[in-house]
Structure 1
Amino acid sequence: MSEPAEDMWGGELDGRGQVEEPKLTIVPDPDGQRPDGLLPEEFWAARERLQHIRRYAHAAGCSGDVLLHSCLARLSGMIPHHIQAVSGIGGRASLNLFVATVGGPGAGKSTGSSLNRGLLPSVDPEFRDGLPVGSGEGIAEAFMGTVEEETGEVRRSKGGAETPVMRRVRKQVRHNAYFYIDEGQILAKLGERSGSTLGETLRRAAVGETLGQTNASEERTRYVEAGSYSLGLLVGFQPTTALPVLSDAGTGTPQRFVWGWAEDPSIPDDPPQHPGQLPPLDCLKTQYESVDIEFPKRVRDLLWRERVLRNRGELQVPELDGHAGLIKVKVAALLALLEDRYGVTEEDWQLAEVMWDASCAVRDSLLARARREAEAAKQQQEESVLKAELRAHQAKNDDDAAVQRLAIRAREFARLHSGQTFGAFRKSLASRDRAYAERAVDLAEAQEWVFVEEGHICIKT
């Protein structure tokens, strides 16, 4: 019987030429519970634009959490670089945001990034949108270009006309970029390369510090001044590939990320009506020299108090929470910009705290999983060692029983063939027992059943 035909989408054709639905295996949640770290319903219900983003994601069968996280990361790379946060500590803060979404293969980590372009189109033709990350130098290179500049000299024509002498110069020509890494394992491998500057570059970019390096040759020199660029980053991780990054807390890398799950149990069975793109944001078109995003006095006082207590040594903060205040400042400011406001409200701050708490829950869940897996591996190793010891003990017991049995055999051999050689006794044994022959004769002699004289086994009377 021939195999059933398939249509162009992969569904099988039945005998009547109708397409049969592919059979899917649906794995239900065994506990019927949402995993810790998903944004709660109250968060989404707080604002119409948050609901809009979620509907946009659900209309494409994508996670609302993924689309919102990637939207904020991309928005941080789209806004003019002179829009910064003023929270009362540390001067003006860059809004560059790094986001990590975690899920299994095919969980839709990349879909959120691609949906962004339709949700919030860019208005800047120079915006570098969705660039891959190849190296630390490559990140700086995204902002570089070659331009012609006047040298200060002029060239005079025969008629006396003066023409400025120009030269080609490499310098920063762009200010906005959004990077996307589809698989976080690549990030770890790139960082392991000898001489790699990727890790340091990412840590500097997260806080808007100077990027690039100075080389002897001009074509390899890259210099991107602190505060002169806006950069967003989205990284998709599988749970196992996220762990090496989380374990690198000593360098400060994982603290610079907002973490979120790629799965979304709230995606409806039937797609909702597509809401279309978000309304255009005026903040993406502003031409002001600088814009300060201000924070409520209570928030400024809170951040200041925490900073003072930490620097006095009176407040100990867990290592992975070292950038909590800064991350919440960035998220709150971006949530305000998403509403086309240049001032953070108490509600913005509360929503940012919800996102930070969710991020911590995702991060802690991954670390708990790592501990469970490490404990399971340790237990498995201990069980393997124990089994090996039991096998060795059993083998010793088996050997001892074989030696005891063959010692009796040696006594009987000596009684029947007293004076025969040890070689004759050994030859009389089955091949599997010959390795025990010498120990068996020693035991028989110790029991005073036989004695050995010049290689001959004699019965002891």
Structure 2
Amino acid sequence: MTTVAYTAIDRLRDVLRDMGEQTRADRGDAFRVRGICHDGDAPDTVSVRRVGGKVAIHCHKCGGDDEFLTVIGWTVADLYDEPLKGRQDRAAMPPCPRPAPAPPKPAKGRVKAKRPLRGEVAAYPYCDENGALLYEVVRIELPGQDKEFRQLNADGYFGVEGVRRVLYRLPEVLATAQAGGTILVVEGEKDADNLARIGTCATTAAGGAKAEWLPEYTQALKGASDVVVVADNDEPGKERALRVTAALVSAGIPARAVLPAVDAPKADVTDHLAAGYGFDDLTPLMATVGRYPQFGDEPLDRLPESFWNATSQLRQIRQMAHARRAAPDAVLHASLARLGALAAPSVRVDSEIKRPATIGWYCGLYGPSGAGKGTAEDCAEELMPFPGFVADDLAVVDPSTGQGIIDAYLAFETDPDDEDGKRKIKVQKKTRGYITATEGAILNEMAQMKAGGTLNAVLCKAWMSERQGTSNATTELKRELHKGAYVASMSLGVQEEPAARLLEAGNIGLPQRLAWAHATLGPDTPMQRPPTTGEVTVTGPDGRDVPVTHWVASLRGLDIKIPPQAVEEVDGLTLDIARGRGAEYPLDTHEPLWLLKAAALLALLHGYTKVTDEQWELAKVMWQVSRRVRDGVQEAAERRQEAKAAALRAEAVRTAVEAQTATFEALNGVHPLVVSVAKRVGRWLANRPGEHEMRKVRDGAKPSSAENRRYRESGAENSLWSAALGYAVDERWVVALNDGATLAAGAVAPPA
């Protein structure tokens, strides 16, 4: 019977298993394990292998081989199969005793930190509002390595799983916020401490630039008069500052993002202070659209990161779009169109200037065939499914004709004025409508509409819930929708050519009503697809979450008010348009009502019955982005038109040249290109006395590729160069010597 020796690697494997650690890629004489030397999360950071009767251990993260031994309670001697002293034949010795099991751990896999940690230079305590320690962040600096941070629980073990997360210096932060003071949010604990030393309240959150900004952090800052988010001068730092600023602004906290005045890579606020700069020298990080930041590197024709991070509902819509590989902007607008279709006609937005308006929403999802318009619509349907209880009141319409849209709201019933009870008439039975067309001939039909076209007229009136129909017809043919008695939303997939023609015919009215969005995927599309989210919900009066579509569909008799500042802005826009801006910018004539509808829908999306300042600002961002998409479509159309015009001009020039060539040949018996090249050869030789090889002359005066092409297109079959050379010799501009091997200037100079 063969006896298998109990080696050091076997002992180590058992010790690790007793500690609750799992080995990976275990081949007997080698395996991998978690980096318990630095409380790592990756399951295979440390490699272990048996080499020549000894175990070799290496951590690929921190190189902490000695710390690994300290954690498991071993010394270097324990790494050998046999004792270091008095080694004997292993078969004659009893197996090495297994070490005693490690003491019980408070939780599986947790490791006690041995303080100070190797390379520890500072420890930053995170305390609750009463000053009780919750956890620490330890700063590690080792020669030749990047700085590192490790988080320790208050009980001294690595890791803070399950521990309440708070802002750094929380008691001071809460006191300053409650007093209405200014608070700086920085990226690191060292920065916060340096600011505190000069009397400034500053805080941060553990985890660095990529750590999640939690709602609890935002809550702790409520009451502050000004929150200044200071970014480190690198991309992760800037992105974090924008993300935090958007979260604070959406919660109603005045916030702005700034950069250090030190223009050096990765410069932080500590560098700013060391350079002698003060608080007033911090420079704005971002350009802004309204109160919402828009980072300079983001495309201007897509909704910015700060918009999506403003609320949980917007984040959910973008996550769902990313999960379905759809464009978030297109999914948002299609979702708002579905939400607007569910709002009863008595749910209106009130500007206090004109009569309250219904909130039906029209969106144009722009992109080439197969770009994802249908995918965006399907994604919006998952987020905003129509409730079953509105089926009898909701018309889902394919817009083939204007009359067909009207008929979708109507149904036959017996005419009450008919004594025989046999005559049928159409009356309105439905009040809500959703019009959708993602592809098909309807796009071309819309693009070719005239101002008086039936389909266009119906769609334009439906956006404003104006009266529709043929009230002057006979009783049997009468079709009528009363003003304000119905609502219509539309999600329209628009391809490039029809979109361009639609905008060229801007006077028909439909383009002004559309919210334009790219249906193609943008640069923010993640490589790793996130999970799907399900439908959007809001919190009901009883505190329970309900689908937002159910809540909106149940609303009746609601006038959605806008903030006083928004009333002033709408009034100003209305006056500008009335005073002539509408003639200068005809596609912007419906901006006031567009903004009102967008703001009202955003309010309903978030469970509000009136528009907040933040929702009004978000609506303004949507308008600006929609305009940029629309302007991009126009610019593309103009470029196409210019290219077509250039092609036509080139064809006209070519035709004229051909006609001129034919005339010249008829009068002179030779092609003008032959004469032109012949003159060039004569002048080249006249400027260079003596004989020259044919090759050299050809290199200096040969026809261009364009000349050769034009000569061939004229129908010539011989070589342009040969024809030109023969003509130059005949005209005595050139003399051929040595059987044409060399050339020289002739007795006659070529004419000008």
Shorter-chain TM-score range: 0.7 to 0.9
Structure 2 equivalent of residue 243 of structure 1? 500
Structure 1 equivalent of residue 466 of structure 2? 209
Structure 2 equivalent of residue 284 of structure 1? 552
In the TM superposition, what whole-angstrom CA distance separates every residue of 1:18-50 from its partner, at most 9, and x where no partner exists? xxxxxxxxxxxxxxx865411111111111101
Task: Provide the C-alpha distance between the structure 2 equivalents of 1:206 and 1:324, rounded to a whole number of angstroms.
Answer: 13
Structure 1, unpaired ranges of 5+? 1-32, 156-164, 405-461
Structure 2 equivalent of residue 17 of structure 1? none
Q: Secondary structure at the match of 1:220?
A: coil
Structure 2 equivalent of residue 328 of structure 1? 595
**Which of 585, 609, 630 is the matching residue for 1:342?**
609
**Which of 405, 422, 434 is the matching residue for 1:178?**
434
In the TM superposition, what whole-angstrom CA distance separates every residue of 1:313-351 from its partner, at most 9, and x where no partner exists? 588651111111110110010000111111011111111
Q: Does 1:230 align with 2:494?
A: no
**Which of 306, 309, 314 is the matching residue for 1:45?**
309
Question: Shift of the alpha carbon at 1:399?
Answer: 2.2
Task: Provide the C-alpha distance between the structure 2 equivalents of 1:314 and 1:39, rounded to a whole number of angstroms.
Answer: 26
Q: TM-score, normalised by structure 1?
A: 0.72
Structure 2 equivalent of residue 113 of structure 1? 377
The AA in structure 2 aligned to 1:341 is Y
Task: Provide the C-alpha distance between the structure 1 equivalents of 2:416 and 2:644, rounded to a whole number of angstroms.
Answer: 66
Q: TM-score, normalised by structure 2?
A: 0.45
Question: Shift of the alpha carbon at 1:193?
Answer: 7.9
Q: Secondary structure at the match of 2:559?
A: strand
Q: Where in structure 2 are the equivalents of 1:248-267 lying within 5 Å?
A: 248-265=505-522, 266-267=524-525
CA RMSD of aligned residues (A): 2.8
Task: Provide the C-alpha distance between the structure 2 equivalents of 1:213 and 1:187, rounded to a whole number of angstroms.
Answer: 26
The alpha-carbon distance between structure 1 residues 166 and 284, as it changes in their structure 2 partners (threshold 3 A), is: farther
Q: Secondary structure at the match of 2:392?
A: coil
The AA in structure 2 aligned to 1:92 is P
Whether the 8 Å CA contact 1:213–1:223 is kept in 2: the answer is yes
Task: Provide the C-alpha distance between the structure 1 equivalents of 2:380 and 2:513, rounded to a whole number of angstroms.
Answer: 22
Q: Secondary structure at the match of 1:236?
A: strand
Structure 2 equivalent of residue 299 of structure 1? 566
Structure 2 equivalent of residue 437 of structure 1? none
In the TM superposition, what whole-angstrom CA distance separates every residue of 1:359-379 from its partner, at most 9, and x where no partner exists? 110111111111111111111
Task: Provide the C-alpha distance between the structure 2 equivalents of 1:386 and 1:314, rounded to a whole number of angstroms.
Answer: 41
Whether the 8 Å CA contact 2:599–2:615 is kept in 1: the answer is yes
Task: Provide the C-alpha distance between the structure 2 equivalents of 1:143 and 1:38, rounded to a whole number of angstroms.
Answer: 35
Question: Shift of the alpha carbon at 1:88?
Answer: 1.8
Q: Does 1:59 align with 2:323?
A: yes
Q: Does 1:360 align with 2:627?
A: yes
Whether the 8 Å CA contact 1:137–1:198 is kept in 2: the answer is yes
Task: Provide the C-alpha distance between the structure 1 equivalents of 2:343 and 2:299, rounded to a whole number of angstroms.
Answer: 33
Whether the 8 Å CA contact 2:561–2:610 is kept in 1: the answer is yes
In the TM superposition, what whole-angstrom CA distance separates every residue of 1:284-330 from its partner, at most 9, and x where no partner exists? 24353x11000000110121133234435588651111111110110
Task: Provide the C-alpha distance between the structure 2 equivalents of 1:359 and 1:193, rounded to a whole number of angstroms.
Answer: 22
Task: Provide the C-alpha distance between the structure 1 equivalents of 2:449 and 2:515, rounded to a whole number of angstroms.
Answer: 25
**Which of 297, 318, 330 is the matching residue for 2:585?**
318
Question: Shift of the alpha carbon at 1:85?
Answer: 0.6
Question: Shift of the alpha carbon at 1:190?
Answer: 5.8
Task: Provide the C-alpha distance between the structure 2 equivalents of 1:240 and 1:189, rounded to a whole number of angstroms.
Answer: 12
Q: Which moved more, 1:300-309 or 1:233-242?
A: 300-309
Task: Provide the C-alpha distance between the structure 2 equivalents of 1:184 and 1:88, rounded to a whole number of angstroms.
Answer: 41
Q: Secondary structure at the match of 2:391?
A: coil
Q: Secondary structure at the match of 1:116?
A: helix
Structure 2 equivalent of residue 126 of structure 1? 392
The alpha-carbon distance between structure 1 residues 188 and 204, as it changes in their structure 2 partners (threshold 3 A), is: farther
Task: Provide the C-alpha distance between the structure 2 equivalents of 1:316 and 1:167, rounded to a whole number of angstroms.
Answer: 49
Q: Does 1:69 align with 2:69?
A: no
Q: Does 1:146 align with 2:404?
A: no
Q: Secondary structure at the match of 2:630?
A: helix
Structure 2 equivalent of residue 452 of structure 1? none
Whether the 8 Å CA contact 2:393–2:429 is kept in 1: the answer is no
Question: Shift of the alpha carbon at 1:238?
Answer: 1.1
Q: Which moved more, 1:297-306 or 1:141-150?
A: 141-150
Task: Provide the C-alpha distance between the structure 2 equivalents of 1:314 and 1:249, rounded to a whole number of angstroms.
Answer: 15
The alpha-carbon distance between structure 1 residues 387 and 37, as it changes in their structure 2 partners (threshold 3 A), is: same
The AA in structure 1 aligned to 2:361 is L
The alpha-carbon distance between structure 1 residues 141 and 371, as it changes in their structure 2 partners (threshold 3 A), is: same
The alpha-carbon distance between structure 1 residues 256 and 403, as it changes in their structure 2 partners (threshold 3 A), is: closer
The alpha-carbon distance between structure 1 residues 316 and 152, as it changes in their structure 2 partners (threshold 3 A), is: closer
Structure 1 equivalent of residue 531 of structure 2? 273
Task: Provide the C-alpha distance between the structure 2 equivalents of 1:193 and 1:104, rounded to a whole number of angstroms.
Answer: 21
Whether the 8 Å CA contact 1:128–1:142 is kept in 2: the answer is no
Whether the 8 Å CA contact 2:664–2:670 is kept in 1: the answer is no
Whether the 8 Å CA contact 1:148–1:166 is kept in 2: the answer is yes
Whether the 8 Å CA contact 1:85–1:333 is kept in 2: the answer is yes
In the TM superposition, what whole-angstrom CA distance separates every residue of 1:212-253 from its partner, at most 9, and x where no partner exists? 223644443211111111210011111111011111212222
Q: Secondary structure at the match of 1:125?
A: helix
Q: Does 1:372 align with 2:639?
A: yes
Task: Provide the C-alpha distance between the structure 2 equivalents of 1:393 and 1:109, rounded to a whole number of angstroms.
Answer: 52
The alpha-carbon distance between structure 1 residues 225 and 191, as it changes in their structure 2 partners (threshold 3 A), is: farther
The alpha-carbon distance between structure 1 residues 174 and 298, as it changes in their structure 2 partners (threshold 3 A), is: same
Structure 2, unpaired ranges of 5+? 1-296, 538-546, 672-752
The alpha-carbon distance between structure 1 residues 239 and 191, as it changes in their structure 2 partners (threshold 3 A), is: closer
The AA in structure 2 aligned to 1:122 is F
Q: Secondary structure at the match of 1:126?
A: helix
The alpha-carbon distance between structure 1 residues 403 and 257, as it changes in their structure 2 partners (threshold 3 A), is: closer
The alpha-carbon distance between structure 1 residues 316 and 223, as it changes in their structure 2 partners (threshold 3 A), is: closer
**Which of 355, 377, 393 is the matching residue for 1:91?**
355
Q: Secondary structure at the match of 1:174?
A: coil
Task: Provide the C-alpha distance between the structure 2 equivalents of 1:168 and 1:152, rounded to a whole number of angstroms.
Answer: 9
In the TM superposition, what whole-angstrom CA distance separates every residue of 1:166-209 from its partner, at most 9, and x where no partner exists? 98542111111111112376244267589851111111011110
The alpha-carbon distance between structure 1 residues 184 and 330, as it changes in their structure 2 partners (threshold 3 A), is: farther
Question: Shift of the alpha carbon at 1:386?
Answer: 1.4
Q: Which moved more, 1:314-323 or 1:355-364?
A: 314-323
The AA in structure 2 aligned to 1:180 is T
The alpha-carbon distance between structure 1 residues 326 and 216, as it changes in their structure 2 partners (threshold 3 A), is: closer
The AA in structure 2 aligned to 1:65 is D
Task: Provide the C-alpha distance between the structure 2 equivalents of 1:86 and 1:387, rounded to a whole number of angstroms.
Answer: 62
Task: Provide the C-alpha distance between the structure 1 equivalents of 2:371 and 2:640, rounded to a whole number of angstroms.
Answer: 22
Percent same amino acid at aligned positions?
30
The alpha-carbon distance between structure 1 residues 122 and 168, as it changes in their structure 2 partners (threshold 3 A), is: same
In the TM superposition, what whole-angstrom CA distance separates every residue of 1:378-410 from its partner, at most 9, and x where no partner exists? 111111111122222222222223399xxxxxx
The alpha-carbon distance between structure 1 residues 166 and 287, as it changes in their structure 2 partners (threshold 3 A), is: farther
Which structure's residues are more often helix, by fraction? Answer: 1
The AA in structure 1 aligned to 2:391 is P
